[in-house]
Amino acid sequence: MSARRRGAVVVTALCVAAAACSTVLGLQPPPAGDAGSTGTTTTDAGTVDAADAAGSDGSASKEAGSEAATAPTMCAPLDREDDAGSVYSPLAVNDDDAGPSLWDSFDMTLLPRRTAFSGGTFDGTYVYFAGRSTIVARYDNGQPFGDASSWSEFDVSTIGIPGGFEGAGFDGRYVYFVPYGSTIVRNGVIARYDTTGAFGCGASWASFDLTTLMPEAGTPLSGYYGAGFDGRYVYFVPHNDGAPFGVVVRYDAMPQGAGGSLTSGVARSCDAGAADAGAADAGDAGDAGDAGSSAATFGVAAQWQTFDLASLNPTAVGYLGAVFDGMGLYLVPNVNDAFGAELHSGNSGIAARLRTGGAFDASASWATFDMTTVNGLLTDFLGGAFDGRYLYMAPHGSGIAPRYDTLLGFASIPAWSTFDINGLFAADAATPFFAGAAFDGRFVYYVPAGGSFLSLTRVDTRSTFGAACAWSTLDLSQLETGDAGAATYVGAVFDGQYLYLVPDGEYPVPRFLARTPPRQPMLPAFNGSFL
């Protein structure tokens, strides 16, 4: 294991990529686009198996770049309906000079409790926000956005959960809040909410302490950041337990011995009834019991597995978020402190992939790839998204955005393309600094971390990735934030119509009317990636 940085770490969260849900309609993946610009190096790098050096069908990787080099630049018109009849909005404050605002916001200070949030998810009805304290919140997207009665909070400390979450995930029934802790004290206690029960009822909640799972090295598990779901298993992404680490945790959400169903059973009701108490809800300190096939096994150690990526590659540590493409789970690299942080200033470009059809604890199911072999600046990312073919990662430092063609081999350099987002801004502007990404069915959004950089940026997946005409930006300082000052954000959630930005502080929650009528992309169906 390489030298690892100790002490406090400044954290900016991920959470997330667009969540998929069984209760919303599907969407066909966008048509296969160009391969974009590619690197010129021809030597593969990373830890790979034979299949990784080939395309997804096992054949030799084709040169994706050669097709892109001869294809004309394409800039798709915005005002064209997609196959589902949806129309996408321009990235602007107003639809036009006289039209309605495409943005509205909710003042979180109207709720009884105040906290910062980091990522979230969507369950088909509610948008969830993962709190960096013990407070989690949700919004009913069928109710007025600006009305406090449309919002609910729950304090997990009332049922003995320490809190401090970095992201959330949804598996079709349960919402999982990913445990991280604080910059000083880590924890590994997952909070899980059963969406069939009342949000403010302690009986709808359960917990599991990852530190009870002891890998061979004997290191307690804490400090996770983001999650992924592949249709059966929920994955928790290792980030920093005081130093970057690489122990991935997987939970079987559909144990075969319990009926094989995520949706069977109902949450045990509270004595006070199942009605949600809304914004003023203080939580219930009752027993956090639950029922149903998955609920009965949440605390059973046999349903949990671990795999240490450092056993494959000692620099494969320190990830921020995960993306699932239907066959593989990709971990987004952030920081690994390689060689005493002397390499890339400690930032990491070592992406990792699990072939989810293989054995989780088998080295052959995993591969790593050093993205700096494509471009030396491809390090330090926070969250990602998938559009049906291509995987995107949000640059957290350099402003260089990578895209991977999942039809080609993971370690095939021509499968990777890049775009320099810095070129969209003035030469003296702040370096683009993103915290999370999301997909709305056509556009991939890169969430600005805020502070000195507040430009929401998106790329049109129907246009040429490497062409400036595919990209657009909006300075969020144009939005009203009251007395809160310049906001900071970590992650975004898309609910089929609106894109919600997750505020990392006591700032309003802004949302953007991305498409009408609403339709949730399902990429692939019933599965998702979360920050």
Model confidence over 47-66: pLDDT tens digits?
444 445 444 433 333 334 43
Q: What is the pTM of this model?
A: 0.84
Mean pLDDT value of segment 145-164:
96
CB 136 within 8 A of CB 199: no
Comparing 242-251, 291-300, 330-339, 483-492, the range with the smallest average pLDDT is 291-300
Contact 223, 239 (CB under 8 A): yes
List the end-to-end C-alpha distance of the chain, in Å, as a whole number: 27
Q: How far is CA 330 from the centre of its chain?
A: 11
Where are the chain's structural domains?
A: 50-70+116-429
Average pLDDT score over residue span 71-96: 82
Cross-strand partners of 165: 179
pLDDT band of residue 78 (cuts 50, 70, 90) is confident
- DSSP-assigned letter for residue 94: B
Q: SS3 of 200, please?
A: coil
Q: What is the pLDDT of residue 452?
A: 86
pLDDT for 264 equals 54
- Return the minimum-mean-pLDDT range out of 170-179, 256-265, 448-457: 256-265
Q: What pLDDT shows up at residue 85?
A: 81
Query: Does residue 14 have a pLDDT over 70?
Result: no
Which class in CATH covers the domain with range 50-70+116-429?
Answer: mainly beta
> Could you tell me what percentage of the chain is helix, strand and coil, using 3-state DSSP and rounding each to the nearest 5?
15, 35, 55
Mean pLDDT to the nearest integer, 429-433: 89
Distance of CA 154 to the CA centre of its chain: 22
C-alpha angle 487-490-491 in degrees, rounded to nearest 5: 125
H helix and E strand count, the chain: 2, 31
